[in-house]
């Protein structure tokens, strides 16, 4: 199945894009949602500021879902939704939209990512604490297996683990440990359902439970990553297939070979895409696609390829067409799909697989010793931060060659990026105002009494006041009643509470004494003498962007250099950042944004800082197009770093020099005063 990951601006604009892509030969949909939708906020929420329609399509209510799927045959379409914390809600909206088109939920085909553990580890779009999140997942899986039997209710997602720095061994081990946690939670949910019904259709309870768990196991799919080391990546997929079958047979008693298949879809690596010489990303994408297509016994069922310019910003329709055509050339022009498994019997491949299996089993045992994947989130997070730091160290040193970035950097001007917008799609800032107006109009036109009843019932089910009723039932009822994304999530937040995932920064091991690090420490030591205390940096992530890998590495490197570090994780408002900067008395503020909301959020943070009396310099890093740098500097940003700035030690030197030149404490008093 061929897909492109797409969605932007509005439901109607995204619907037009989907229709065009399907006409070009795309065989399924892969929906990208914006960050407010992914994290459970309406467009007019304070945290949604600057984020509406930026990295995907905003879906605030069933009217938006109806517009998104207008004219698309839902009874025939296979729709993948990259959605996690709010997966139950988006599936409910999809079900209700299908009903309005005369399509029963039993006919729907597709996938919801619905993998919350990896959100705590790598991507950051969680909404509820771990236990409540796992309950939502278990309820949704139990519901779909019974009522939406063609739907894949979860993609165990190793993709973002690799994006966060995971080695192949870690990617395998953490994904499989995650799958165990999910299956065990569903087992508990299904057992309770069967016990409440006193068996199922006259079956003994244990037999009914085993039959249902076989159905569950057969609907679990994976979403994996494939990096440019495509031989090793293919071995990784073969190892995952072996482990998945082992788990099914030995832990869950599955014997049907069809249910034991390792079913996975893939998006090839985005971490390795570069802003420098971005045209090189095309061949990277092609080579990575070979990892998941060359060997028949471990071939992907569905592929979506990133666009060549994703390190620059949001891809245009033409860029997505290029990615689709790569898939079509592989499928229809090459002979890749014509032969039996070309790696069968290969001593090299078998040896690689055996090595990965040994490492993965050992790491899975460590996770199990921590109590399983949910309890081991802190351990896994710190391990990923360490692995990512090692990858960056190898790039900085030149040990890991990245063509065009740290070697062969001489280049001609690229015509691909030589336009007014730098070769990317820029979302009209007016989109957010339009979506705010739309959701407020939607709220004013609903049956408020029906809505209040539906949300009240949702809260009662969440509080376990309805004898174990499945949350999906109340969620679908809320969708029919016209609830918004923010109202659904807000109702559950009131019951479940909120949560802030571990950052992994404090637990990360210290960097060894490389010469450049020693020089940086000496520079920090001299600055400390000038200031009269250790220099302090606040690393902040304003808005809803949960991709925190870069911010974490800056925080770790600052700590290793001898600076005091304030890093509270993701999802902060400008006022929260300003209050923290004032209270902590920081000398410099580093902000990280990868979602495209920098034009709105960075000036808002600077305004909040100045209103609080904080005059410390502000530096910014993220996916920031060249044409946006000057406006940010005019707004008061002292320095801007983008993905081409891969040398973190050099960045830290710049920051130390910036603080030295600023020569004062945050409140503008003398340099040796205390904050």
- Whether 505 and 559 have beta carbons less than 8 Å apart is answered as yes
Q: Is 160 a catalytic residue?
A: yes
Nearest-10 Cα torsion for 493, 496, 500, 504: -140
Residue of 8, 54, 61, 160 with catalytic role? 160
- Whether 125 and 117 have beta carbons less than 8 Å apart is answered as no
- Whether 48 and 33 have beta carbons less than 8 Å apart is answered as no
Looking only at the bridges linking them, the beta strands covering 588-593 and 618-622 are: parallel
Q: Is 428 a catalytic residue?
A: no
Going by C-alpha positions, the residue among 504, 597, 494 that lies closest to residue 127 is 494
Q: Is 126 a catalytic residue?
A: no
Residue of 61, 236, 536, 541 with catalytic role? 541
Q: Is 264 a catalytic residue?
A: no
| Beta carbons within 8 Å of 448's beta carbon, 6+ residues apart | none
Instruction: List the Cα angle 657/659/665 in 5-degree steps.
Output: 160
Please tell me the distance from the alpha carbon of residue 432 to that of residue 542, in angstroms, as a whole number: 17
Residue 564 tokens read as: 């005091």
Tell me the longest C-alpha to C-alpha distance in the chain. 81
Please tell me the distance from the alpha carbon of residue 227 to that of residue 171, in angstroms, as a whole number: 12
Position of tokens 């090595």? Answer: 355
Q: In Å, how far are 5, 25, 629 from 624, measured between CA atoms?
A: 21, 32, 7
Please tell me the distance from the alpha carbon of residue 455 to that of residue 486, in angstroms, as a whole number: 12
Position of tokens 């016990």? Answer: 195
Q: Is 159 a catalytic residue?
A: yes
Q: Is 54 a catalytic residue?
A: no
CB atoms within 10 A of CB 102: 9
Nearest-10 Cα torsion for 399, 383, 565, 624: 60
**Residue 572, helix vs strand vs coil:** strand
* Polymer length in residues for the chain: 675
Please tell me the distance from the alpha carbon of residue 240 to that of residue 232, in angstroms, as a whole number: 12
Instruction: List the Cα angle 52/618/577 in 5-degree steps.
Output: 60
Residue 560 tokens read as: 């290793």
Angle between helices 130-147 and 471-480 (to 10 degrees): 80
- Whether 380 and 366 have beta carbons less than 8 Å apart is answered as no
Burial (CB < 10 A; 0-12, 13-18, 19+), residue 607, is middle
Q: What DSSP designation does 1 have?
A: -
Q: Determine which helix (DSSP H) or strand (DSSP E) holds 193, and give its type and residue range.
A: helix 168-196
CB atoms within 10 A of CB 347: 7
Residue 208 tokens read as: 């009914």
Strand order across the 5-6 sheet: 5-6, 29-32, 78-82, 109-112, 151-152
Residue of 94, 126, 159, 379 with catalytic role? 159
Please tell me the distance from the alpha carbon of residue 159 to that of residue 166, in angstroms, as a whole number: 9
**Residue 20, helix vs strand vs coil:** helix
Residue of 44, 438, 545, 560 with catalytic role? 545
Residue of 381, 547, 587, 598 with catalytic role? 547
Positions marked active-site: 5, 159-160, 541, 545, 547
């Amino acid at each position: 199945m061929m897909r492109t990951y797409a969605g932007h601006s509005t439901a109607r604009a995204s619907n037009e894009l989907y229709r065009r892509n399907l006409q070009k030969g795309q065989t399924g949909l892969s929906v990208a949602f914006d960050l407010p939708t992914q994290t459970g906020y309406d467009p007019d929420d304070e945290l949604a500021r600057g984020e509406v329609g930026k990295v995907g399509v905003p879906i605030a209510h069933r009217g938006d879902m109806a517009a998104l799927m207008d004219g698309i045959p839902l009874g025939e379409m296979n729709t993948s939704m990259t959605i996690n914390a709010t997966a139950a809600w988006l599936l409910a909206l999809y079900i209700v939209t299908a009903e309005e088109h005369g399509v029963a939920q039993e006919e729907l085909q597709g996938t919801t990512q619905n993998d919350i553990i990896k959100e705590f580890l790598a991507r950051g779009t969680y909404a509820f604490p771990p236990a409540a999140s796992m309950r939502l997942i278990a309820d949704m899986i139990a519901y779909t297996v019974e009522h939406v039997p063609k739907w894949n209710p979860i993609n165990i997602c190793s993709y973002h683990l690799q994006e966060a720095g995971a080695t192949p061994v870690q990617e395998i081990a953490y994904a499989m440990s995650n799958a165990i946690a999910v299956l065990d939670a569903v087992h508990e949910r299904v057992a309770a359902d069967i016990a409440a019904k006193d068996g199922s259709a006259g079956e003994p309870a244990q037999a009914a439970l085993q039959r249902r768990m076989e159905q569950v196991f057969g609907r679990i799919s994976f979403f994996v990553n494939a990096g440019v080391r495509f031989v090793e990546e293919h071995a990784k997929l073969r190892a995952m297939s072996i482990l998945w079958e082992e788990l099914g047979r030995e832990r869950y008693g599955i014997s049907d070979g069809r249910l034991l298949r390792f079913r996975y879809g893939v998006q090839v690596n985005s971490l390795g895409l570069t802003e420098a010489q971005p045209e090189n990303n095309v061949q990277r994408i092609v080579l990575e696609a070979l990892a998941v297509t060359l060997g028949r016994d471990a071939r992907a069922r569905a592929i979506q390829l990133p666009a060549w310019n994703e390190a620059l910003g949001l891809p245009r329709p033409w860029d997505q067409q290029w990615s689709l055509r790569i898939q079509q050339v592989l499928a229809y022009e090459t002979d890749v799909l014509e032969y039996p498994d070309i790696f069968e019997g290969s001593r090299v491949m078998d040896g690689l697989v055996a090595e990965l299996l040994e490492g993965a089993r050992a790491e899975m045992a460590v996770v199990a010793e921590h109590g399983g994947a949910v309890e081991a989130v802190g351990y896994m997070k710190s391990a990923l931060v360490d692995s990512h730091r090692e990858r960056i160290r190898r790039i900085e040193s030149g040990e890991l060659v990245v063509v065009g970035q740290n070697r062969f950097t001489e280049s001609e001007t690229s015509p691909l990026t030589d336009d007014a917008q730098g070769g990317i799609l820029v979302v009209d800032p007016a989109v957010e105002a339009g979506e705010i107006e739309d959701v407020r109009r939607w709220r004013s036109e609903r049956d408020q009494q029906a809505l209040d009843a539906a949300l009240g019932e949702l809260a009662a089910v969440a509080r376990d006041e309805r004898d174990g009723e499945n949350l999906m039932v109340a969620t679908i009822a809320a969708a029919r009643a016209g609830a918004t994304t923010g109202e659904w999530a807000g109702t559950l937040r009131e019951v479940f509470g909120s949560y802030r995932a571990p950052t992994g920064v404090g637990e990360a091991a210290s960097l060894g004494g490389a010469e450049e690090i020693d020089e940086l420490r000496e520079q920090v030591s001299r600055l400390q003498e000038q200031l009269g205390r250790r220099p302090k940096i606040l690393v902040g992530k304003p808005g809803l962007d949960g991709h925190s890998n870069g911010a974490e590495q800056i925080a770790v490197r600052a700590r290793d250099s001898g600076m005091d570090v304030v890093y509270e994780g993701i999802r902060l408002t400008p006022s929260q950042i300003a209050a923290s900067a004032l209270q902590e008395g920081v000398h410099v503020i580093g902000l990280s944004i990868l979602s495209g909301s920098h034009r709105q959020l960075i000036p808002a943070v600077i305004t909040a800082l100045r209103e609080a009396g904080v005059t410390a310099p502000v530096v910014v890093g993220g996916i920031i197009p060249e044409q946006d740098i000057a406006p940010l500097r005019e707004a008061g940003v002292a320095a801007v770093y983008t993905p081409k700035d891969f040398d973190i030690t050099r960045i830290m030197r710049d920051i130390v020099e910036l603080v030295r030149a600023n020569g004062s404490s945050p409140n503008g008093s003398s340099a040796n005063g205390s904050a």
